[in-house]
């Protein structure tokens, strides 16, 4: 049954850093997977960071959204590892961060990547926490492979088509249109890209988020996200594949009170696919709940684990 809950707040303190163990699957410069017929999809070796903790309890696994990376959850991952004593994994999705590029950006491919990675690390079943695109990946993995997911948190996203509430296709087009000359300094490259993006994106925070993807490679600055793959699949990423089976495990939909990504009209499908779900609102947060209100975000996660 869907239920509403107040947002909890953490007490001051509790943000001390735990002992950190860094680990990562070796990453190839590039990789591809076929999309033909019913052939098995080939996974790519995802880049990840694993924080040490007790092996006796399910680990927390964070999946970022479109244009994001595992570094989006750095401070939150460290704090939750310290506060809960659990292992915490942050992962770069394919075509994002330090993970390989592939022409296949379907949810089926992203799920296959996780199906291979989680057992490899001994982290199944886990507490799967996904934001936006990562939330849809998390929901689909829970629906299709429930034995891998002990409980689920979907952050400001629902199992329906979200194209109408997103400017992501325009972001992809704007980023693809930027050409940064060779031998330009980092600061000059960022200023140029920011100026180009500002004509479309007035929100400085959103531009800064996109600019985290601007990296130096072979003497020039390029986007580390695979914009060609994102442009080809952006409508698919913003949609949600039809599902018949439900996920019986505990589920939390953690939503931003200032975001329009999840509407009351989505609730029937949320309840159908996730009958054990509850909804919690973080009133002062927009779509990036974890960035806007990190203390409230962590408090909600801890309350859900209790």
Instruction: Report the distance separating Cα 249 and Cα 143, nearest Å.
Output: 10
Quote the crossing angle between the two packed helices 133-144 and 107-120, to the nearest 10°: 70
CATH number at residue 75: 3.40.50.1820
Tokens of 131: 């934001």
Q: In this structure, what are the phi and psi dihedrals at residue 147, rounded to the nearest 5 degrees?
A: -70, -15
The answer to whether residue 167 scores a pLDDT higher than 90 is: no
81 and 111: one domain?
yes
Give the mean pLDDT of 233-256: 95
Beta strands in the chain (DSSP E): 4-5, 48-51, 60-63, 88-91, 126-131, 149-155, 214-217, 220-223, 251-256, 277-282
Does 258 reside within a domain?
yes
198 and 252: one domain?
no
Instruction: Report the distance separating Cα 173 and Cα 195, nearest Å.
Output: 15
| Model confidence pLDDT, tens digit, residues 176-226 | 999 999 888 999 999 999 999 999 898 899 899 999 999 998 888 999 999
Instruction: Report the distance separating Cα 29 and Cα 36, nearest Å.
Output: 23
68 and 115: one domain?
yes
Tokens of 233: 């699949």
The answer to whether residue 81 scores a pLDDT higher than 50 is: yes
124 and 250: one domain?
yes
244 and 283: one domain?
yes
Domains of the chain: total: 2
The residues carrying an active-site annotation are: 132, 228, 287
- Assign 6 a pLDDT band (cuts: 50, 70, 90): very low
Given this model, what pLDDT does residue 63 score?
98
| Boundary of a domain, candidates 182, 203, 230 | 230
Question: By 3-state DSSP, what share of the chain in percent is helix, strand and coil, each rounded to 5?
Answer: 40, 15, 45
Tokens of 266: 């989505």
The better pLDDT of the pair 15, 66 is held by: 66
| pTM across the whole model | 0.86
Instruction: Report the distance separating Cα 19 and Cα 54, nearest Å.
Output: 12
226 and 92: one domain?
no
187 and 274: one domain?
no
Domain that holds residue 265: 48-162+240-305
| Boundary of a domain, candidates 230, 251, 276 | 230
The lowest-confidence range among 30-34, 42-46, 271-275 is 30-34
The better pLDDT of the pair 37, 31 is held by: 37
What residues have CB less than 8 Å from 79, skipping those under 6 apart?
14, 15, 17, 298
């Amino acid at each position: 049954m869907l239920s509403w809950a107040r947002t909890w707040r953490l007490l001051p303190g509790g943000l001390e850093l735990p002992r950190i163990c860094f680990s990562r699957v070796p990453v190839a410069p590039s990789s591809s997977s076929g999309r033909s017929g019913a052939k098995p999809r080939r996974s790519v070796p995802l880049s990840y960071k694993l924080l040490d903790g007790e092996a006796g309890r399910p680990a927390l696994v964070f999946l970022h959204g479109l244009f994001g990376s595992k570094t989006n959850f750095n401070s939150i991952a460290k704090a939750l590892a310290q506060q809960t004593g659990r292992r915490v994994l942050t992962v770069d999705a394919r075509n994002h961060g330090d993970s390989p590029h592939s022409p296949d950006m379907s949810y089926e491919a992203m799920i296959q990547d996780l199906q291979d990675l989680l057992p490899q690390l001994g982290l199944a079943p886990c507490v799967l926490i996904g934001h936006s695109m990562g939330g849809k990946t998390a929901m689909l993995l829970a629906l299709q492979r429930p034995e891998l997911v002990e409980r689920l948190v979907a952050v400001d996203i629902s199992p329906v088509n979200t194209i109408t509430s997103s400017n992501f296709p325009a972001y992809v087009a704007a980023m693809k249109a930027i050409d940064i000359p060779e031998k330009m300094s980092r600061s000059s490259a960022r200023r140029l890209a920011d100026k180009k993006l500002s004509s479309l994106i007035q929100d400085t925070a959103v531009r800064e988020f996109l600019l985290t993807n601007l990296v130096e490679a072979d003497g020039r600055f390029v986007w580390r996200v695979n914009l060609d793959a994102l442009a080809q699949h952006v409508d698919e990423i913003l949609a949600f594949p039809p599902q018949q089976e439900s996920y019986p495990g505990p589920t939390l939909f953690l939503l931003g009170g200032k975001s329009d990504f999840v509407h009351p009209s989505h609730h029937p499908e949320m309840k159908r696919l996730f009958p054990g779900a509850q909804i919690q609102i973080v009133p002062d947060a927009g779509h990036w709940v974890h960035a806007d209100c990190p203390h409230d975000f962590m408090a909600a996660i801890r309350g859900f684990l209790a």
